[in-house]
Amino acid sequence: MTAGSLRARLLASLRAVRIGRLATLLLVSLALALAGDWLRTERVMFPAPLPVFRTLPR
């Protein structure tokens, strides 16, 4: 395979990408990532949940 044909095949592969499917993959993974981070205690993206303060009964 020559460098020219390799480049042509690479470009053809890139042109074959379906934007809708790519967007679906990216958005689904982003949604899973954000939901996963929100639901775990060891958060990276969102700030950690505030501690719950309770008033002691008299």
Partner 1 sequence: MSLPRLSTLCRIAIAVVFVIAGAMKLLHPAAFFADLLSYRVPLPEMLLRLVTVWLPWLEVLCGFGLLVNRWPETVRPLVTALCAIFVVMLAQAVIRGLDLNCGCLGTGGAGWFARPGIALLRAALLGGGSVYVMLRSPS
- Which residues form the interface with partner 1 (CB under 8 A)? 6, 9-10, 13-14, 16-18, 21-22, 25-26, 28-30, 32-34, 36-37, 40, 42, 44-45
To the nearest whole angstrom, how small is the minimum distance from the Cβ of residue 29 to partner 1?
A: 4
CA 13 to chain centre: 23
Residue 38 contacts residue 32 (beta carbons within 8 Å)? no
How far is the C-alpha of 40 from the C-alpha of 15, rounded, in Å? 39
Which residue lies nearer to partner 1 by CB, 13 or 55?
A: 13
To the nearest whole angstrom, how small is the minimum distance from the Cβ of residue 6 to partner 1?
A: 8
